[in-house]
Amino acid sequence: MSEIKYNWTREEILEIYHQPFLELVYQAAKVHREFHNPREVQISTLLSIKTGGCPEDCAYCPQAARYHADIEKNDLMSVEQVKAQALRAKSSGSSRVCMGAAWRNVEDGPEFDQVLDMVRTINSLDMEVCCTLGMLTENQAQRLAEAGLYAYNHNLDSSEEYYKEIISTRGWEDRLETLGNVRKTNVTVCSGGIIGMGEKIEDRAGMLVALSSLSPHPESVPINALVSVEGTPMEEQEAIPIWDMVRMVATTRIVLPSTTVRLSAGRTEMSQEGQAFCFMAGAGSIFAGDKLLTTPNPDVNEDMNLFKTLGLIPMKPFAKGAKPTPLTPEEMTAAAKERKHWSRPGHRIDKNVEAAKEANKKRKKTR
């Protein structure tokens, strides 16, 4: 029976990854059923609230100002625009909106205040709100929590060694620090990476060693297949075989049993049969909508037809954790002075991990 483990070694993970393919999928499917309802898939919608012009040098990213990808740059969206897009996403079955900004880090000031307003607005629509805004201080993480943020996405992207080959403008330690700052709040952690950037399989395993050493494990782990964009240093990178994606999803599922594994970027290159294998192997979430941040994604109708064919159903919002209760601006000011409110109702740190541990205990007793 699967245990939640924080000390996976690279060798153990490689052994899982390299199993005969169908054995691996079978094992992952079994673990998936221990911790998750295999028919439910969570649907997130991405919204690029500030696009392009980023000062970082992430070699995969079309939004880095120093490369020359043909994308439409945009300043920060208005709260009204965000609300309209969130309502559209909700009506097409999405339970979460993930707002991405092409920032190195969050700066305090009117733009961050506007993002906090966006968080409050989406939360009031009874949708889960996620942000990916770059590096965060502890105080900024707390302010996002107070506004009702449900999840924060900040990816490790690859192994510590390969990370250095793809990004030089900020370090691996910086990423861990931001994840640590998010963990100090009641916001859930979403952190994963990209495969197909020229890394070795050892690097994929190395990334999973790092993610699984975080305690508690991230509540969600996006697995992206590189979308190679013209104008970026990775423009000539060949698409990975679907088998690699399925293996990575399955291995992630086994190593992080209670985590939601998100089948993220790169789905336009995958057949529906390939995606079906990913769901079998434990993918429990997708990004829906015809655009990711700047690159294309499958059409929503296509996704809904696939759900129908496979008997999958969109997960309801807050199925895995209570809705955060945002504070009023006055309460936020008072809280900022005191910083005592972290155990307020709706606090859900580790709820799924605790539930998984309980399930484990019960199983052990009956063995």
Residues in contact with ligand SAM by CB under 6 A are: 60-61, 63, 100, 102-103, 132, 134, 154-155, 157, 194, 224, 226-227, 229, 265, 293
Chosen from ligand SF4, ligand DTB, ligand SAM, none, partner binding at 98 (C-beta under 5 to 8 Å by type): ligand DTB
Q: Which is nearer to ligand SF4, 71 or 250 (CB)?
A: 71
Q: Which is nearer to ligand SAM, 123 or 224 (CB)?
A: 224
- For residues 317 and 186, give the distance between their C-alpha atoms in angstroms, rounded to a whole number: 17
221 forms part of the interface with ligand DTB (CB under 6 A)? no
Catalytic residue among 98, 143, 170, 247: 98
Q: Which of 2, 17, 31, 56 binds ligand SF4 (CB under 6 A)?
A: 56
Closest CA to 144 of 110, 180, 177, 117: 117
Task: Write down the least CB distance from residue 235 to ligand SF4, Å.
Answer: 15
Closest CA to 63 of 74, 53, 72: 53
Angle, helices 21-35 vs 272-280, to 10°: value is 60
Q: Which is nearer to ligand SAM, 143 or 154 (CB)?
A: 154
Q: Which of 2, 132, 140, 275 binds ligand DTB (CB under 6 A)?
A: 132
Q: Which residues, numbered 25-54, are part of the site for ligand SF4 (CB under 6 A)?
A: 54
- For residues 271 and 60, give the distance between their C-alpha atoms in angstroms, rounded to a whole number: 23
Chosen from ligand DTB, ligand SF4, ligand SAM, none, partner binding at 150 (C-beta under 5 to 8 Å by type): none
Peptide bond into 216 cis (omega under 30): yes
Known catalytic membership, residue 61 = yes
CB 164 within 8 A of CB 206: no
The answer for residues whose C-beta is within 8 angstroms of residue 198's C-beta and 6 or more apart is 165, 234, 237
63 forms part of the interface with ligand SF4 (CB under 6 A)? yes
Known catalytic membership, residue 278 = no
What type of residue sits at position 77? M
Beta bridge pairs of residue 261: 221, 283
- Please state the separation of Cα 158 from the chain's center in Å: 14
The total of other beta-carbon atoms located within 10 Å of residue 287's CB is: 24
Chosen from ligand SAM, ligand DTB, ligand SF4, none, partner binding at 356 (C-beta under 5 to 8 Å by type): none
How many residues bind to ligand SF4 according to rule CB under 6 A?
9
- For residues 235 and 220, give the distance between their C-alpha atoms in angstroms, rounded to a whole number: 28
Known catalytic membership, residue 190 = yes
Task: Write down the least CB distance from residue 19 to ligand DTB, Å.
Answer: 26
